[in-house]
Amino acid sequence: MIKKLCESARPILLAAFCLGASLEFSRFSYAETGISDTEILFGQSAAIEGPASALGQGMRDGILAAFHEANEMGGVHGRRLALKSYDDGYDPGKAIENVNQLLEVDKVFALIGGVGTPTAKAVQPIATHANIPFIAPFTGAAFLRDPALRNVVNVRASYEQETEAWIAHLTKDLGITRVAVFYQDDSFGRAGLAGVTKALEKRDLKVVAEGKYLRNTTAIKRALLSIRAGDPQAIAMIGTYKASAKFIKLARQLNIDVVFLNISFVGSKALATELDGNGEKVYVTQVVPFPTDNSIPLVVQYKKSLRNLNSSLEPGFVSLEGYIAGKLVVAILQRLGNKPTREGFIDQIDRKAQFELGGIDLVFGPDDNQGMEGVFLTEILAGGKYNAIEELPND
């Protein structure tokens, strides 16, 4: 219809309109949202600023490193991968605004690299209703592991797997039976609390004390006093790095001598920085390999790609997770050929599928939308570095 109108056009204004329409039609000649002849556009809403910014920035850096790597090799079937990121400040309401903008205005092909349980809980229903791929949210929340959510693609192990590992180590390695929980008072923190409670009950134990704080704050003193009253031997921590670091520092000032176990979401590098490298008796469970493990080809390539993206960036667990997510996207798109669709992308996860990414395997199936299962323990060393450990040291 546009072509017929343009052929008969004489006035300058109509001719200008036709030229613009023709260019726009050419740009989006492939009829799938977010895909043009030259580009596939992805969207991200994450904490790019504020007290959880190291997480959003880390995920973004890792994804961009993987996309840049693919683009330097000619893209995927001739199309470049692009990422549009908006800051949600780790706020569910802002995340909803961003996702609506990404879907309705920016017209992205898929969402990737969101950060946090409360934000994921707010926007996942929107993505599912639109049947748009919801890729690699930086959270281990159980609700995202529901196999009925066909459009959700999880990379990391769940919080339940992490908290089970905590309690297994505490009880077996150290014989600890008195465990308290420090948590963020929202869906993220309560998911971790539920995991700890379940793992303890499995061993006929109970949480001896709880302390909570509000999201996007570091108001932790009341939580610490509540926990101290329970006289714990260990404190399970489900929080962000600034609040968790402040809690640990204050606990030490009050001579509370316990083992601190932090969930992967805390952001290991950021936590170590906030603690000034003083990580005595502070442990973090991880869900991706060490970002310095040169025995894994993918990690070697990750470090190279991160440098190529920005030479000032340093390797870390969070950006490695983002990179794995980006590499998974590339692998799926390569399988889809030169006419990828959202449904085709989702179908790759909803079937029995394995993606080998240079020494790291992600496996999915009809009842399994989580690619990796591994959880391992790390300790903070002097200078803010981390070391993998098999068990908690009995000093």
Q: Within its chain, how far is the Cα of 266 from the centroid?
A: 11
Contact 47, 92 (CB under 8 A): no
pLDDT in the model for residue 15: 41
| CA distances for 302 relative to 212, 313, 353, angstroms | 36, 12, 23
Which candidate, 142, 143, 141, 90, places its Cα nearest to that of 119? 90
Rounded CA-CA distance 333/77 in Å is 8
The HSE-up count of residue 372 (CA atoms within 13 Å, CB side) is 24
| CA distances for 277 relative to 182, 245, 332, 380, 383, angstroms | 21, 11, 39, 7, 5
Give me the amino acid identity at 353: A
pLDDT in the model for residue 33: 94
pLDDT in the model for residue 157: 97
Rounded CA-CA distance 50/90 in Å is 8
Rounded CA-CA distance 256/318 in Å is 30
Dihedrals phi, psi of 61, to nearest 5 degrees? -60, -45
The HSE-up count of residue 207 (CA atoms within 13 Å, CB side) is 21
Rounded CA-CA distance 24/21 in Å is 5
Beta strand pairing call for 207-213 and 234-238 = unpaired
Composition of the chain by helix, strand, coil, percent to 5 = 45, 20, 35
| CA distances for 380 relative to 43, 293, 296, angstroms | 34, 16, 22
pLDDT in the model for residue 381: 87
Which candidate, 351, 349, 273, 342, places its Cα nearest to that of 314? 273
Please give the chain's pLDDT, 395 residues, in tens: 444 444 444 444 444 434 444 444 334 445 699 999 999 999 999 999 988 899 999 999 999 999 999 999 999 999 999 999 999 999 999 999 999 999 999 999 999 999 999 999 999 999 999 999 999 999 999 999 999 999 999 999 999 999 999 999 999 999 999 999 999 999 999 999 999 999 999 999 999 999 999 999 999 999 999 999 999 999 999 999 999 999 999 999 999 999 999 999 998 889 999 998 788 899 999 999 999 999 999 999 999 999 999 999 999 999 999 999 999 999 999 999 999 999 999 999 988 899 999 999 999 999 999 999 999 999 998 778 899 999 999 87
Helix ranges (DSSP H) in the chain = 2-7, 12-27, 53-72, 92-104, 117-129, 159-173, 187-201, 221-228, 241-253, 268-274, 297-309, 317-336, 342-350
Contact 45, 101 (CB under 8 A): no
For the entire predicted model, the pTM comes to: 0.89
User: Cβ neighbours of residue 43 under 8 Å, at least 6 residues apart?
Assistant: 83, 84, 85, 86, 99, 102, 103, 106, 108, 110, 111, 112
Q: Which fold has domain 159-286+376-389?
A: Rossmann fold (3.40.50)
Task: Please provide the size of the chain in residues.
Answer: 395
Which candidate, 292, 289, 247, places its Cα nearest to that of 266? 247
Rounded CA-CA distance 313/308 in Å is 10
Pull the structure tokens for residue 35: 């895909």
Residue 73, by phi and psi: left (phi above 0), alpha (psi -120 to 50) or beta? alpha
At 157 the three-state DSSP class reads: coil
CATH 3.40.50.2300, domain 39-156+293-364, yes or no: yes
Contact 144, 159 (CB under 8 A): no
pLDDT in the model for residue 30: 57
Contact 118, 215 (CB under 8 A): yes
- Domain boundaries, given as residue ranges, for the chain: 39-156+293-364, 159-286+376-389
